[in-house]
Chains A and B, each alone.
Chain A
Amino acid sequence: MNRSSFLLLVFILYTAPAIAAESHISYLEGTVIITRGQSVLTGDFGMTLIEGDKISTGTDSLAILEVEGRGTLKMRSETILILDEIEEVISVSLTSGGLFSKIKRLLGVGYEVKTPGVVAGVRGTEFFVAFGQTIEDTPDLWLCVNEGTVHVALKNTTDSVLVNEGEGITIPAGNRLTDPRFYSWTEDLNWNTDPDMGELVDQTDLDGAYADLRSFDYD
């Protein structure tokens, strides 16, 4: 193999994932709706996704999205996700529900999940973020990390925190950070994003993330 052939091969290998890796729905259950501009489309297996798509899952539904060959996103039921940017940086907005993210470690590329008040950014990890109860004016946000580290920052402030593997964080009302720590309720999360590996539906009740005041009996 001469030098030019070798460089061509390197170029092909380097760019292959980007060429082959358009974003699409790899799996779904139940009802998945894509809002693309003025069009409302019904989601289907293999359906291509483009920047700006708003994806909604219905009751008892889920969707698994492959994003640019760099990440797999699993949307829980009753979740709304917007693909803000799917280029060098993958940026999505979660406006309701819950989202599992499994991001490959690639040099120089990033991934972030935005909610109205929070940005969670990573360079390769597996984490879950979801809206919780609305106790104050805006809903709580819960995030936990299965693998890697997630940088969580509050919008419009300089407050940020690193959440490490095995830890979770509560963001009450989506506007203040708490100390990351282990939460027992995260043990029940279903991280699987591969239909061939078994059950995909995550049935974790996020109410379980909250202290049950009725359980306190110490005498």
Chain B
Amino acid sequence: MIKRNILTMIFLATAAIFSISAWTYSETSFDIEGRIAMVAQAGRFNPYIELKGQYHSLENQLRYTSLSAGSYFSIVPWLKIGAFYRMQMGARDLEDWQFEAGPPDRHWWLDTRGQIEHLFYFDATPRFHLSWLPGRNWVFPTKIRYYYNVSNRHHSLLIRPGLTYVFMTDREPLLNLSFNYNLYFALNTGDIPLYSHGPYLSVIGHVYDWLKLEGKASYRYATYFKEDGGSWTLNSSQITVGLGVIFTPDFSLLRKK
């Protein structure tokens, strides 16, 4: 009898604690992204430069912008590695999500517009041509990308397996249709290693050898978790549609001429 009472008390106490201090919020943002990039060909190198901007409907503001530069290098035909630098502005991190225990509780994002961060990231992307599949033109890539944010010393990892089909006409690529799944891991921050994930679709049209047009859509689900005498969780959903213009000049030809 005593044992049963103790268990009941523990259960009630636990329930009371969780009902007081475990808070979960959610938000959904619809974002529009634009980017202009150059991915050149120079022998086994692919020099890369990209300018990106995002409009966030939730706050009705153009918040995130970034400039990235670096190069891929083809070690073997099925594997490229890359090293890049990125300067970004307006990115949000776990520290930027604020809360204030109430009642009433309040939570908000710090205004990160104008907040500049510097990152280095390194990429290894194996790609396998699945020519044995019907249609022949299937590629299975897995992008593995490690980020080091110099500004806040965050380490993170992106793993993105995918499947791409390339529509060809008379041996020339016409359209790439890709389905990928993003998995973001926080390596030294937060309590949730896989803090964000979601599908990513892209369509790339090969307009000319030197010009591609890109359309993409992604859904990214992120969990922000904080514990400070209680636990607070923000489930953030981000739906992004984007357009891109990608220049793909072949510098190897200039050298030969």
- Residues of A at the B interface (CB closer than 8 Å) are 135, 140, 170, 172, 176, 178, 184, 187, 209-219
Distance in Å: Cβ of A203 to nearest Cβ of chain B: 16
What residue in chain B is nearest A179 (Cβ atoms)? Answer: B170
Contacts of A212 in B (CB 8 A): 77
Contacts of A216 in B (CB 8 A): 139, 164, 166, 173, 176, 204
Is B136's CB under 8 angstroms from A135's CB? yes
Query: Which of A170, A172, A213 is within 8 Å of B139, CB to CB?
Result: A213
Is B172's CB under 8 angstroms from A211's CB? yes
What residue in chain A is nearest B165 (Cβ atoms)? Answer: A213
Distance in Å: Cβ of B188 to nearest Cβ of chain A: 25
Please report which residues of chain B, range 192-224, place their CB below 8 angstroms from some CB of chain A when the two chains form the complex: 204, 212, 214
- Of B89-97, B107-115, B124-132, B225-233, the stretch lying at the interface with chain A is B124-132
Distance in Å: Cβ of B169 to nearest Cβ of chain A: 9
Distance in Å: Cβ of B98 to nearest Cβ of chain A: 31
Is B78's CB under 8 angstroms from A214's CB? yes
What residue in chain A is nearest B168 (Cβ atoms)? Answer: A211
Is B170's CB under 8 angstroms from A218's CB? no
Is B172's CB under 8 angstroms from A217's CB? no
Is B72's CB under 8 angstroms from A219's CB? no
Query: Which of A187, A214, A219 is within 8 Å of B256, CB to CB?
Result: A187
Is A213's CB under 8 angstroms from B204's CB? no
- Residues of B at the A interface (CB closer than 8 Å) are 37, 39, 46, 50, 72, 74, 77-78, 80, 125, 127-129, 136-137, 139, 141, 164, 166, 168, 170-173, 176, 204, 212, 214, 244, 246, 248, 250, 252-253, 256
Q: How many angstroms between the C-alpha atoms of A217 and B176 in the bound complex? A: 11
Contacts of A140 in B (CB 8 A): 171
Is B171's CB under 8 angstroms from A170's CB? yes
Distance in Å: Cβ of A185 to nearest Cβ of chain B: 11
What residue in chain B is nearest A176 (Cβ atoms)? Answer: B170
Q: How many angstroms between the C-alpha atoms of A216 and B246 in the bound complex? A: 12
Q: How many angstroms between the C-alpha atoms of A211 and B246 in the bound complex? A: 18
Q: How many angstroms between the C-alpha atoms of A218 and B162 in the bound complex? A: 14
Q: How many angstroms between the C-alpha atoms of A36 and B89 in the bound complex? A: 76
Distance in Å: Cβ of B82 to nearest Cβ of chain A: 8
What residue in chain A is nearest B204 (Cβ atoms)? Answer: A218
Q: How many angstroms between the C-alpha atoms of A215 and B248 in the bound complex? A: 12
What residue in chain A is nearest B130 (Cβ atoms)? Answer: A213
Contacts of B127 in A (CB 8 A): 213-214, 217
